[in-house]
Amino acid sequence: MSKVAVDMNLGGTPLTEQTSSTLGAARQVPIRQLTLDPLNPRVPEELHGAGQAELASWLAEHSRAIDVAQSIAMHGFFMSEPVIAFREGTSYVVVEGNRRLTALLGLAVPEVRRLLRPIEVWEDLARRALVTVGDEIPVIVVPDRQSAIPMIGFRHITGILKWDSFAQARYVAGLVDDEGMTFKAVAAQIGQSTTKVSSLYRDQAIVRRAAEAGLDVSGALRDFSLISVAMSSVGLREHIGAQVGSKVVPGNPPVPPHKIVELAELFDWIFGESPVISDSRQLSRLGNVIANPVGLRAIRSGEDLDEAVRLVEASSEPSGTVEIVRKRLAVAVSNLAFAADQAGSLSGDAEIVELVRRAVDHVVVLSEATTTREGTAS
């Protein structure tokens, strides 16, 4: 008897046709009737429509399904965590639990297992687990894909089993673009703020737009969170013409056509061969720099971020003799005011007497130089 079948006898009442008042109907379904979700947000779009073996191969490589397989081989399938699926013909499409189903398919289906690596480890696990496609596992069957949104949102966007940020953004985009949901409706379903939802939608749309423009988006896909951090910077957001999350309109271009060059610059600064930043904490600094024309010229000319900051700071200093004198006089007046407040305790100090004499001489020169013939300060 397989580990799955043995574990089916643990934990009390069988799940057959038991109704769940909160989500759907709890049933026991054979593994052969369960299919991986081709619209899983974790799976690249180019694999949408791919066969089950190919989907399983990708998920096994990118989601560490082998860890689940090892657990099943040692302890059996945990009946306390049913997968969630909706019926499609004679099959059930699993919308929550694709990693677990990948592990089960790898253990039970030789055609799938041959595509998984390391093959020798999977073969050993399959021999120990003794899982077959006829074994049944607990499944919460929901009416349709949309019915599972609250659970998926809680587990993978709000909860502790979070997807990476790009998968979260793709899931949000699917609900908005494919299901026709508003940002507010999605936010209510997945337990996030409307601003968070609209910002995720905008950020994934920016990556899509970059890909459409022929830019290399591999870095953004690996570390999508950097896009989100960048878009929290006013300077970087305005550089590419993107909007704040609250003003995003689904379907509208996230970056105006005339800002594609700037979008390419942003991707190069963050993900290029010689990026301007070394970690996400520098994105705010970069945004402040390029918001200044001097800083933008410096970055575009190949200066590093520290040098660009120095040039911006230098450009903000008073320029010209008049501005320099004005600034220094302001400091001098402040210092003289402080000294005057201490006048009662300064009597008899020869050095102070000499400094005051020199100060008076300078004031006389300045007074004569800055007074017009009519006696009015120029």
The answer to whether residues 52 and 36 touch, using CB atoms and an 8 Å cutoff, is yes
Report the pLDDT averaged over residues 42-58: 89
The answer to whether residues 256 and 263 touch, using CB atoms and an 8 Å cutoff, is no
What pLDDT is attached to residue 319? 55
What pLDDT is attached to residue 320? 59
What pLDDT is attached to residue 333? 83
The verdict on whether omega for the bond into residue 250 sits within 30 degrees of 0, i.e. cis, is no
What pLDDT is attached to residue 271? 97
The larger pLDDT score, comparing residue 223 to residue 164, is at 223
What pLDDT is attached to residue 158? 65
The larger pLDDT score, comparing residue 353 to residue 243, is at 243
* Average pLDDT value over all residues in the chain: 86
The larger pLDDT score, comparing residue 21 to residue 284, is at 284
pLDDT band of 18, cuts 50, 70, 90: very low
pLDDT band of 23, cuts 50, 70, 90: low
Which of 92-96, 233-237, 342-346 is least confident?
A: 342-346
User: What whole-number distance in Å separates Cα of residue 289 and Cα of residue 266?
Assistant: 13
Phi-psi category of residue 46: left, alpha or beta, with phi > 0 → left and psi -120 to 50 → alpha: alpha
Edge-first strand order for the sheet with 83-88 is: 18-19, 25-30, 136-142, 83-88, 91-96, 34-36
Per-residue pLDDT of 179-218, as tens digits, reads 899 999 999 988 889 999 999 999 999 999 999 999 999 9
pLDDT band of 345, cuts 50, 70, 90: low
Per-residue pLDDT of 249-305, as tens digits, reads 999 999 999 999 999 999 999 999 999 999 999 999 999 999 999 999 999 999 999
Residue partners of 165: CB distance under 8 A and separation at least 6? 200, 224, 225, 228
Is the pLDDT assigned to residue 241 strictly greater than 70?
Answer: yes
User: What whole-number distance in Å separates Cα of residue 10 and Cα of residue 251?
Assistant: 49
User: What whole-number distance in Å separates Cα of residue 59 and Cα of residue 280?
Assistant: 28
Report the pLDDT averaged over residues 224-236: 96
Q: Name the token pair of 369.
A: 């130089």
